[in-house]
Amino acid sequence: MCSLGLILLLAFQTYDVTPSYAPGVMDPPMLATQNPVCSNEFFRKFITEHHRYPDAIKWNANYTDFSPLLCHVRSQNIKQCMKRKNIQKIAVYGASNVNRYGLQLAETLKRIGFVCNQTKRENRQPIHRIDLDYFAAGNKTLRSLMVAGSDYFCTGCSSYQITCKSKDSDDVNIEFISTENVNTTKLVLKNSTVAPTYEHFIFDVYLKKSFPDLNIFFLPMNHIKRQPIERFVREFPVTLLPLVKKVKPPTSDFFFIPGTSEFEECRTGGAEKYKYYLWHGLLASDAIRKLNAQLFSILETDIINGEVSSFLDLAEVTSSLIHMCADGSHFHDKWYFIFWKVFLNVYCHED
Ligand SMILES: *[C@@H]1O[C@H](CO)[C@@H](O)[C@H](O)[C@H]1NC(C)=O
Ligand SMILES: *[C@@H]1O[C@H](CO)[C@@H](O)[C@H](O)[C@H]1NC(C)=O
Ligand SMILES: *[C@@H]1O[C@H](CO)[C@@H](O)[C@H](O)[C@H]1NC(C)=O
Ligand SMILES: *[C@@H]1O[C@H](CO)[C@@H](O)[C@H](O)[C@H]1NC(C)=O
Ligand SMILES: *[C@@H]1O[C@H](CO)[C@@H](O)[C@H](O)[C@H]1NC(C)=O
C-alpha cells in the first residue's frame, strides 16, 4: 500500500501531500527504513544522477516538519555539529524574509542552550538608504571612501549581528547581510576597482578578514521577479556566482537557497495593490518557480563539483503553507523555524 501510494504521488507530481498515516507521524516506518538519510552528500549524488533535487516532499499532519519523499531527515545534535564543523560565524544574505530567517536561526540556537543577543544593527535614515557606518565598522579610512548608491525597495531588511554564547561551546555569531539582488550598487567605494558593486564590497572588503564559516544566501526572488527572468539568467552567472566562488575559502560552506511561494489571497495592507499582479506576464509564485528552476540549472555543475550548495525548491516546499502566510510574501515565524530544523538536520548528517 505504502509503495503504491509513493508511486502514485510521484506519478502525479503531487508535492506537499499531507500524509494519510497517523497524524504527526513524520517517518512512516516503511519509508524510513527503506530510504537513505537526507544529507548534502545524498542531494549531491541524487543531482549527479537525476539532474534535479528530490523536490517531492511531504509535510507531517500538523505542519511542524517536512521531509523529501526519497530520503528521510534524521534529527542531529546541532551543537556537536557546530563544534565538529568549527562553525563560529554564520552569515545569512537576502531581504526582508532573511531578516526573519536570521531571527529564527537565533531561536534555534537558544533551544539548544545558547543565550543570544543582538549586538549591532543598521540604523537606516531614511529607511531605504544603506547605513554606511554599520559597514565601515569603525574604520575611518574605509568610511571616507564609501558612497551610498541605489536605495532598497525593502523596509524591514536592516542588517544586524547576533552573538550567541554557551558555557560549553565557542560563541556563534550570526550576521544578516541585507541583499536585494545579485549585482547592485547599494554601497560602492569611491575610485575603486575592487568594489564596483555592493556585492563586491561585501565579499571582497567587508567579509575579507573573517569570512563566515557557514553562508546561506537566500536568493530574494520576491524582489528579483520585478525584473525580467532573463536579466537574472544573464547577471547571476557572471556577477555574484563567480565572485562567491573566488572569495570563498575552501573551509567555508556556501548555500544558494531558492525563493519561497507567495499567496495572492493573503495580500493585505500595503501589499494589497499587488494582489494578482502580473510580473512580466507571470503571477508572483509562477515567476519565482521559474527563477528557482533557472537558479538550479546555473548551479548544477558547481553543486555536483562541491563548489557551492543549494537546497530543495522552497516554492514547492512552501506552496501549501497558506495557513502560515503573513502578508502574501512573508510567513509566520513558524516557517522560518521549521526551515532551520530541516536545513540543519540535513547539513549536519554525515555518513
Ligand atoms: C506535531 O506532531 C509532532 C510529531 O508527532 C509532535 O511531536 C508535536 O508535538 C506536534 N505539534 C503540535 C503543535 O501539535
Ligand atoms: C544580553 O543583553 C542583555 C541586555 O543588554 C544583558 O543583560 C545580558 O548580559 C546579555 N547577555 C549576554 C550573554 O551577553
Ligand atoms: C580600513 O580600510 C582600509 C580601506 O579598505 C583598509 O586598507 C585598512 O586595512 C582598514 N583598516 C583596518 C584597521 O582594518
Ligand atoms: C577620486 O578620483 C578623483 C578624480 O581622479 C579625485 O579628484 C579624487 O580626489 C579621488 N578621491 C579619492 C577619495 O581618492
Ligand atoms: C553589474 O553592476 C555594475 C554596476 O552597476 C555594472 O557596471 C555591470 O555592468 C553590471 N553587470 C552586469 C552583468 O549586468
What average pLDDT does this structure show over 139-145? 97
Mean pLDDT, all residues of the chain: 91
Residue 22: what pLDDT? 42
Question: Is residue 33 very low, low, confident or very high in pLDDT (cuts 50, 70, 90)?
Answer: low
Alpha carbons 19 and 325: distance in angstroms, whole number: 21
| Cβ 165 under 6 angstroms from ligand 2 | yes
- For residue 67, the ligand closest to its alpha carbon is 1
The closest residue, in CA terms, to atom 6 on ligand 2 is 117
Confidence (pTM)? 0.89
Question: Is residue 149 very low, low, confident or very high in pLDDT (cuts 50, 70, 90)?
Answer: very high
| Assigned domain for 170 exists | yes
The closest of 202, 6, 200, 180 to 94, measured between CA atoms, is 180
Phi/psi-derived region of residue 334, left when phi > 0, alpha when psi is between -120 and 50, beta in every other case? alpha
Residue 5: what pLDDT? 43
With a pLDDT cut of 70, the percent of the chain lying above it is 91
| Assigned domain for 141 exists | yes
Question: Is residue 239 very low, low, confident or very high in pLDDT (cuts 50, 70, 90)?
Answer: very high
Residue 8: what pLDDT? 40
Reply yes or no on whether the pLDDT at 21 is more than 50: no
| Helix, strand or coil, per DSSP, at residue 285 | helix
Whether residue 328 contacts residue 322, with contact meaning beta carbons closer than 8 Å, is answered with: no
Number of domains in the chain: 1
The closest of 109, 103, 217 to 169, measured between CA atoms, is 109
Reply yes or no on whether the pLDDT at 11 is more than 50: no
Residue 145: what pLDDT? 96
| Cβ 194 under 6 angstroms from ligand 2 | no
The closest of 72, 60, 55 to 10, measured between CA atoms, is 55
| Cβ 142 under 6 angstroms from ligand 3 | yes
Reply yes or no on whether the pLDDT at 168 is more than 80: yes
What average pLDDT does this structure show over 103-113? 97
Q: How far is the CA of 160 from the centre of ligand 2 (A)?
A: 16
| Cβ 24 under 6 angstroms from ligand 1 | yes
What does the radius of gyration of the chain's CA atoms come to, in whole angstroms? 20
- For residue 144, the ligand closest to its alpha carbon is 4
Domain interval for residue 335 = 8-348
| Assigned domain for 2 exists | no
Residue 288: what pLDDT? 98
| Assigned domain for 185 exists | yes
Q: How far is the CA of 61 from the centre of ligand 1 (A)?
A: 9
Cell numbers 576597482: residue: 193
Residue 32: what pLDDT? 57
What average pLDDT does this structure show over 337-348? 98
Q: How far is the CA of 196 from the centre of ligand 5 (A)?
A: 8
CATH of the domain at 284: 3.40.50.1110
Question: Is residue 3 very low, low, confident or very high in pLDDT (cuts 50, 70, 90)?
Answer: very low
| Assigned domain for 147 exists | yes
